[in-house]
Amino acid sequence: MSEINVAVTWRSMQEAPRDGTEIIGRYGNDECGIFWSDKPVCMLGPRNGTFPEGWATDGTDTDYNLPIDEPDEWREIHITQNTNQEQD
């Protein structure tokens, strides 16, 4: 018999990487792929990169590099899986 335990560790936004690394942000019960962007883009703005640096969408759920509010918490995209095997 095999059992897979998936460890999801949500972290404080103060610990979130601000180097362009893509992460998962949690907004209440919703999750969204995000990253820290030096120049988020507003599709309706007069030119690209008019927003100050901040959190932006990673293109998974919507267009890439759109400004987004800071999430409540974050986690890494890749989740560690531990497999425990019982031998008969």
- Residue-wise pLDDT for 51-60, tens only, equals 789 999 999 8
Q: What is the number of H-type helices and E-type strands within the chain?
A: 0, 7
CB proximity list for 58: less than 8 A, separation 6 or greater: 22, 33, 34, 35, 64
Which residue is it, tokens 């990673």?
58
Average pLDDT for the chain: 82
Tens of pLDDT along 29-53?
Answer: 999 999 999 988 877 666 655 678 9
- pTM given for the model: 0.75
